[in-house]
Structure 1
Amino acid sequence: MDRHTQPVHFLLVEDDEDHADLIARAMRDNRLFNKITLVTDGQAAIDFLHHKPPYEEAERPDIILLDIQLPILSGHEVLEAIKSDPDTATIPVVILSTSDNETDRQQAYKSGANSYLVKPLDFQSFHHLVKHLNLYWGILNQPPR
């Protein structure tokens, strides 16, 4: 089945419920019916990717949207784990963070992030960012099969 005829599976690693809701709502509002799976801490993201309980039946995501500031394991630790594992290294990881800190950006790119986006503070800008994020990573980008 062609990628453009099926939903793209986003794994959203986000501990802020409001931000997670905004992302899901922006995708729905733009008639983008991709699948979004939410996990709320860094360890849950690793468990999801490695099919550990309670994620034994988890589908491999097409894209990972990763916050930096997470409980248990930080986004930086999760990113390093993803990119150092041959089974997950090819999954694109987009950092989606409130941090505009240059050190965070440098560390993320050194660890293999595919993109680093700063979450806008107002709803309209956030909505616009998610729309374009989904367009690029969900439709235009051509990942390895």
Structure 2
Amino acid sequence: MAMDRPILLIEDNPDDEALTLRAFGKNGITNPVVIARDGVEAIDYLNGTGTHAGRDLTVMPVLILLDLKLPRIDGLEVLRRIRAGEHTALLPVVVLTTSRETRDLQQAYRLGANSYIRKPVDYERFIQVVGQLGVYWLTINETTETAAHGPY
């Protein structure tokens, strides 16, 4: 069930991480949240390698929230690797970034992002945006897992 599966938050900014977690709570999003603070950690989590070696790969994120400006491996490269992976290619990826660069937006969609959202600067607006994300991606959107197993 989608509510039991984790959300993978790929975010290196501790303030944005805390804000996102607070927004989940305020919007009643109760999924467990796995945090990757750089691109390498994100890829390791998804592939069950490195610090996440031995992780149960049958439990994949219901949603990936991906910042673009990440250390070690940037967000666009993380997205490219997600889409190239056999067991990760169909996972929903929402780019959640401060980038205002048109080329970042275009490249994210070229690489297969499901959505591209610029982080609102205003706290209340951010809470609202995360709530809308949760409603859509966690309850309304049909996933490949739902299609394979039915809605119940």
TM-score normalised by the chain length of structure 2: 0.89
- Give the Å deviation of 1:43: 0.7
Greater shift in the superposed pair: 49-58 or 72-81: 49-58
CA contact (8 A) 1:8 1:138 kept: no
Letter in 2 for 1:85: G
Distance 2:65 2:27 in 1: 18
Once the two structures are superposed, the pairs formed by residues 128-139 of structure 1 within 5 Å of their partners are 128-139=128-139
CA distance in 1, matches of 2:26, 2:62: 21
Mapped pair 1:104 → 2:101? no
Give the count of matched residue pairs: 142
Confirm or deny that 1:12 pairs with 2:9: yes
The structural deviation recorded for 1:9 is 1.6
Contact 1:30/1:131, CA 8 A, preserved across alignment: yes
Letter in 1 for 2:19: L
Q: Which residue of 1 aligns with 2:149?
A: none
Shift of 1:129: 0.6
Matched, 1:57 2:55: yes
Structure 1 segment 1-145 matched on structure 2, within 5 A? 2-3=1-2, 6-55=3-52, 56-57=54-55, 59-145=59-145
> 3-state DSSP class of the match of 2:121?
coil
Superposed CA deviations along residues 78-120 of structure 1, whole A, max 9, x for unmatched, are 0000001121101011000001211000000000000000000
What per-residue deviation string (whole Å, max 9, x for no partner) do you get for residues 16-50 of structure 1?
01111111111111222111110100011011111
1:47 maps to a residue whose letter is: D
Q: Identity of aligned pairs, percent?
A: 39
Deviation by residue 1:47-83 (Cα, 9 ceiling, x = unmatched): 1111013212254111110000000000000000000
Which amino acid letter does the alignment assign opposite residue 121 of structure 1?
V
Task: Point out the more displaced range, 58-67 or 94-103.
Answer: 58-67
Q: Counterparts of 2:28 and 2:142 in 1: how far apart (Å)?
A: 21
Q: Secondary structure at the match of 2:96?
A: strand
Structure 1: stretches of 5+ with no match in the other structure: none
Please say if residues 49 and 60 of structure 1, whose CA atoms lie closer than 8 Å, have aligned partners that are also in contact. Answer: yes
- Consecutive unaligned residues in structure 2, runs of 5 or more: 146-152
Partner Cα distance (2:144, 2:130) in 1: 23
